[in-house]
Amino acid sequence: MAKLKWGMIGGGEGSQIGPAHRLGAGLDGLFEFNAGALDHRPDDGRDYGRRLGLSPDRSYGDWRDMLEGEKGRDDRVDLVTVATPNATHFEITKAFLENGFHVLCEKPMTMTVEEGEDIVRLSEKTGRICAVNYGYTGYSLVRHMKAMVARGDLGRVRLVVAEFAHGHHADAADMDNPRVRWRYDPAQAGVSAQFADCGIHALHMASFVIGQNAERLSADTVSCIESRTLEDDAMVNLRFDGGTVGRLWTSSIAIGRQHGLTLQVFGEKGGLRWAQEEPNQLYWMPLGERLQIIERGEANLSPEADRSTRVTIGHAEGMPLAFANIYSDLAEAIRAAKDGRDMDPAADLYPRAEDGLRSMAAVFAVAESGKRNGEWVDARPPLFR
């Protein structure tokens, strides 16, 4: 089977997320890296693309040149990943969807709810896939949690507790550090800093696992470092549309926490606990029984978990392999779209534009509720009310 053709915008040399995408897309041999506009400095981007093996005519200096160059080719890329800074996502994603490319966009998908709605409508109108990289839902045991909830192992889910709290912006001296300062500046970051950067991962994972969307929320947002305009810590109470109660804590001043993404799900018949820094174990306690540790790769896991794992039990699988699961799901979806086939529902797990839009609505709801001393507000985008 011929490989699908893949291109990337952003993710240049030294970027944080570029390498994980290249590892993820390349891992299963489903995609070939054919084109890129990797850096905001055209010469650096062209040079790095060539060093990564792109042909000189497809290592572009600017994403607009890449769009022009690729749309005229018979062998144009099938999928474009957008891994540039947040404020550019909407414009680039829109332009590539309009020209018939499938897109995987980094989070947050857009800067406003209205832009998010535009992308959802455009993806529907063009029939092109717009996925959003909530890549941590690619972990095998996160998918197993989702399967356990769906098949009723927990009974009705009463409570979900999600955290994404790290300590990497805890130094007040960072006020002068340009790499940190912009994140808390509304002119550059929008209405939210920490919730928009990390909180949306935790919220998306909670929604993905319990199969429900946030309906209402109340937020306490604070700038623990007082010179910051936007929040560096938030505690959010939620109500999901299936009746589950949600608690979400996100922080960038939690010294000693590293990545700090965790999920706990409590139902009538049992509780689950998973932490991204130890992703190969899932803690499961059925009501009235002993605590069990479910290992990634063990026998009799769900089909969703089995299709998302590659290395045998006892050897750690980590974040680039979780991203690889998003890419392999997307490869299946793109092949189905090319052949005019319906998707295999078991493979239909990747996060999409609707998820990106719901996140944006939650970001604005958190900012609004935070300003109004935690008043409960609607967390849904107008399109889905």
Question: What residues line the site for ligand NAI (CB under 6 A)?
Answer: 9-12, 15-17, 37-40, 63, 83-86, 88, 106-107, 133, 135
Cα separation, 62 vs 41, whole angstroms: 8
Cα separation, 382 vs 385, whole angstroms: 5
Closer to ligand NAI at the Cβ: 36 or 267? 36
- Per the CB < 8 A criterion, the answer to whether 250 and 168 are in contact is no
- In angstroms, the Cα distances linking 172 to 194, 227, 228, 369 are 16, 8, 10, 26
Q: What is the dihedral of CA 106, 111, 114, 116, to 10 degrees?
A: 10
Minimum distance of ligand NAI from residue 298's CB (angstroms): 26
Closer to ligand NAI at the Cβ: 96 or 284? 96
Minimum distance of ligand NAI from residue 191's CB (angstroms): 15
Closer to ligand NAI at the Cβ: 178 or 340? 178
Minimum distance of ligand NAI from residue 186's CB (angstroms): 16
The CA-based angle 119-368-121, given to 5 degrees, is: 10
Closer to ligand NAI at the Cβ: 43 or 226? 43
Closest CA to 98 of 126, 70, 117: 126
Q: Residue 163 corresponds to which tokens in the numbers above?
A: 């955290």
Minimum distance of ligand NAI from residue 149's CB (angstroms): 23
Closer to ligand NAI at the Cβ: 82 or 301? 82
Closer to ligand NAI at the Cβ: 88 or 237? 88
Minimum distance of ligand NAI from residue 40's CB (angstroms): 4
Minimum distance of ligand NAI from residue 19's CB (angstroms): 9
Closer to ligand NAI at the Cβ: 148 or 248? 248
Minimum distance of ligand NAI from residue 303's CB (angstroms): 25
Minimum distance of ligand NAI from residue 118's CB (angstroms): 18
Cα separation, 245 vs 256, whole angstroms: 28
Amino acid at 131: A
Closest CA to 184 of 170, 205, 200: 170
Closer to ligand NAI at the Cβ: 284 or 323? 323
Q: For CA atoms 290, 294, 299, 303, give the dihedral sign.
A: positive
